[in-house]
Copies of this chain bind each other. A is one copy, B any other.
Amino acid sequence: MQAKSTRPVNDVRCRWQHWLATMTLLGLSMPSIGQAPAAPAQGGPALSPSVAALAKAVSSDPLTMGWMQGFPPPAAKLVMHTPESVVYPRNRWAFSHIRELVPTATVWRGNGPASPLPRAERDIGSIPFTDVDGTRRTFADMLTLTYTDGILVMHKGKVIYERYFGALNDHTPHIAMSVTKSLVGTLAAMLVADGKLDPAAPVTRYLPELADTAYGDATVREVMDMTVGVHYSEDYANPKAEIWDYARAGGMLARPAGYSGPPNFYDFLRTLRKEGDHNQVFAYKTVNAEVLAWILRRVSGQSLAQLLSARIWQPMGAEQDAYFTVDSIGTESGGGGFNTTLRDLARFGELMRNDGRFNGRQIIPTSVVADIRRGGDRAKFANSTSGPALPGWSYRDMWWVTHDSHGVYQAFGVYGQRIYIDPKAELTIVRYASHPVASNAANNPITFRAFDALAQSLMK
């Protein structure tokens, strides 16, 4: 049954939510994680912004909202695979139930025991910090204000804090959104280390199908570090942006009657045209991750799901199977379709923090982690749209590298998904969230302050 909307279809806010919904379906990031979001207008009585934000976060808990409860759920409480049903606040349920909405491919954990996650729990919820507006807050406040669905903190290899909210629990996968890209970039760097993939080679050595596209004269490295000059816009506010063609091609955005566009990811990638020069500036575009995923399949002879299972998920002793969303011909979304539990995302984060070693094995070559930590070209990042908000950062192998004094590097996904690795503090944080605003610019300020306060506290 279709949930009936009470909002008029032509309402601007409704259309904005429609765009957001599609991004949700696709697991895409905003063009820049540093870009300031357009804040939705607040209705209702005049509360202080701080109190109103807390109230909104608490009241949108998916269990409180009653999404998908009952057999059948009431029409007004349905969350389905429609653009409308996976925007805030329904996203608070949907992000933990993606496989119930779309086809998916398993990332098998293997048959072995899960690797141990030793515990040394302490309540870090009361750790204080000062928010950007001068408000004194706690780490727990940050979780509420960023619409956190779950968080797992590891310090010196032990779980010190693990909390779940709303629709998430310790064994259910949650969509990782663009955190997916960092997995794809890591796998690519592993194939480079194996000598199977040459980053200096033209993309067409592996994908001759892309000869007549923007990728016809790009190198693999330019794809891995997103410095490709490609005519492709992820501007949510423009219904003509290529993001919508991509969405329809991937089968995640419903196609109009008579649709004759590209029927899958592969065919869409073949339509991309060059814009500007390669290797000039960092330009965050999800299609690069899809091209890289295609290269990985061609080079390894495995699907992305098989490759990730064989090279990382099985060796690291994952606790649960993970999965990718797939298009109409079974192609995984390497741009944003990965779903896993927070515990297994934490295992992956720890694997990275430990220079590729975990579960008693060297799973990722040390050189791969070193390459990521060393980072990408900072000048090309500074000149990008992300540059002003994230000064001094770079992007390498599809990871965000801060170049700060702790050597922090991160995987980002829209709506608050995060892997945060602080080598100096021996700290790994993984968080899943379902923020009303896609752009991480909406939560970065408070997230960073809370994470930094935690790191400082742990290093005392």
Residues of A in contact with B (beta carbons under 8 Å apart): 1-2, 68, 71-73, 78, 80-81, 97, 99-106, 108, 111, 113-114, 171, 257, 263-264, 266-267, 294, 297-298, 303, 319-321, 326, 328-331
Contacts and interface: CB of A to CB of B under 8 A. Distances in A.
14 contacts: A1-B263, A1-B328, A68-B329, A71-B294, A71-B303, A72-B266, A73-B329, A78-B329, A80-B328, A80-B329, A81-B328, A100-B103, A100-B105, A100-B326
Contacts of A319: 111
Given A68-B330, A73-B329, A78-B329, 13 more contacts: A71-B294, A71-B297, A71-B298, A71-B303, A71-B331, A72-B329, A72-B331, A100-B103, A100-B105, A100-B326, A101-B103, A104-B104, A257-B257
A242 to B, nearest CB: 19
Contact of A264 (B72, B105, B114, B331): B72
Nearest to A262: B1
Contacts of A71: 266, 294, 297-298, 303, 331
A171 B110 CA distance: 9
Contacts of A331: 71-72
Contacts of A111: 114, 171, 319
Nearest to A79: B330
Between A257, A294, A330, the greatest number of chain B beta carbons within 10 A of the residue's beta carbon is seen for: A330
A1 B259 CA distance: 12
How many copies of the chain does the oligomer comprise? 2
A321 B321 CA distance: 8
Contacts of A171: 108, 111
A316 B106 CA distance: 23
A169 to B, nearest CB: 10
A271 to B, nearest CB: 14
A80 B263 CA distance: 12
A108 B111 CA distance: 15
A104 B445 CA distance: 37
Nearest to A299: B71
Interface centre among A72, A99, A108 (most CB of B within 10 A): A72
A294 B99 CA distance: 21
A104 B99 contact: yes
A20 to B, nearest CB: 21
Contacts of A80: 328-330
Given A111-B171, A113-B113, A264-B72, A99 B100 contact: no
A258 to B, nearest CB: 10
A205 to B, nearest CB: 15
B104 A100 contact: yes
A166 to B, nearest CB: 17
A1 B100 contact: no
A265 to B, nearest CB: 8
Contacts of A267: 1
A298 B330 CA distance: 35
A109 to B, nearest CB: 9
Nearest to A3: B329
A1 B270 CA distance: 13
Nearest to A293: B71
A271 B297 CA distance: 47
Contacts of A326: 100
A85 to B, nearest CB: 10
A165 to B, nearest CB: 20
A206 to B, nearest CB: 10
Contacts of A114: 111
Contacts of A303: 71
B99 A81 contact: no
Contacts of A328: 1, 80-81
